[in-house]
Homo-oligomer: A and B are copies of this chain.
Amino acid sequence: MSKYCFGVDVGGTTVKLGLFRTDGDLLDKWEIPTVTAEEGKAILPDIAKSILQKMEERRMEREDVIGVGIGVPGPVDSEGTIYRAVNLGWGVFNIKKELQTLLNMPVEAGNDANVAALGEVWQGGARGYEHVVMVTLGTGVGGGIIMGGRILPGAMGAAGEIGHINVNDEETIPCNCGNCGCMEQYVSATGVVRLAKQKLAESGRESVLRGTEVTAKDVWDAVKDGDLLAMEVAEEFGWYLGRTLGTIANVVNPEIFVIGGGVSKAGSILIDYIQKNFQKYAFKGCRGALFTLARLGNDAGIYGAAKMLID
């Protein structure tokens, strides 16, 4: 009986790999470097080699393994075609077919943010839910949408690009994507720092943040300590994110939002600021969505990747 699967999460510098039992237990995890030279042509062969090595090490047979799931930093459609992955040097090709050929076993592929969302649904903060939107607040803002227990990739694998929703038509500073006023510019780790710096410059209010090299963590720590200026920043953060999640709820009507990424380490106080704006702006029929924090941290990707194989 087949009862194992592998989950692979490809990042710009490191590939994370996990060996799972199909019931959800993570048995082993390890990393290999991501070799992006020559348009990243070694990445998939390196992954295949590492998996086959692990199987040999553990004396696993082909028939013990139901397959390999892989998440990558770029848009992947429902057929497993990736359209670009700038960080890896990849152009357009079918990841699923290529890795399948290298491994001679079933492969499923997805976008890393979508795959992480599936991980949180399988064994993390959204366990037990089928209609889920995950928001990852890191250096940028990523999103993953799970509907009916499955990843919603959209037409070209670009569904869930919620960090680039326009939330401020008056912004003049461009986002990394080229547009101006993307949500990412206000609620990512760098966005929160930017909001704090603006507030410090505009307001005469005293604050523990004054005269320091502000980080997103500093801002949220100050919020917890009752720093009034930091709380104004948190209000602004909550307005941008809560109102936009209200919009997203009107579009896909999730049961629950999962908040992950570095900024989410601030904890449940984040949700308080988000939720009061969400309640104000979401349509009545979509307002029942719950909020929770992600639980799997950096392992969400390997969990979700493995889960793609299991139905």
Contact surface of A with B, Cβ cutoff 8 Å: 75, 78, 83, 130-131, 143, 145, 147-148, 152-162, 164-166, 169, 177-179, 182, 243, 246-248, 250-255, 280-281, 283-286, 288-289
Q: From residue A257, how far is it (CB to closest CB) to chain B in Å?
A: 12
Cβ contact within 8 Å between B285 and A161:
yes
Residue among A131, A145, A182 with max Cβ neighbours from chain B (10 Å): A131
Q: From residue A210, how far is it (CB to closest CB) to chain B in Å?
A: 30
Contact of A83 among B161, B164, B285 (CB under 8 A): B285
8 A-B contacts (beta carbon < 8 Å): A147-B147, A154-B253, A155-B254, A161-B251, A165-B251, A169-B243, A177-B284, A179-B283
Cβ contact within 8 Å between B253 and A156:
yes
Cβ contact within 8 Å between A161 and B247:
no
**Could you say which residues of chain B place their CB within 8 Å of the CB of A154?**
131, 147, 252-254, 286
Q: Quick one: given A83-B285, A246-B166, are A251 and B156 in contact (CB under 8 Å)?
A: no
**Could you say which residues of chain B place their CB within 8 Å of the CB of A251?**
143, 145, 159-162, 165, 247-248, 251-252
Residue of B nearest to A255 (CB): B155
Q: Cα distance A154–B255 when bound, in Å?
A: 8
Q: Cα distance A75–B288 when bound, in Å?
A: 14
Cβ contact within 8 Å between A288 and B156:
yes
Q: Cα distance A235–B156 when bound, in Å?
A: 29
**Could you say which residues of chain B place their CB within 8 Å of the CB of A169?**
243
Cβ contact within 8 Å between B247 and A166:
yes
Cβ contact within 8 Å between A286 and B253:
no
Q: Cα distance A239–B130 when bound, in Å?
A: 34
Cβ contact within 8 Å between A285 and B78:
no
Apart from A157-B253, A165-B250, A179-B284, list 19 A-B contacts with CB within 8 A.
A143-B251, A145-B251, A145-B252, A147-B154, A153-B253, A154-B253, A154-B254, A155-B254, A156-B286, A156-B288, A158-B250, A158-B286, A159-B251, A159-B253, A162-B251, A166-B281, A169-B243, A177-B283, A177-B284
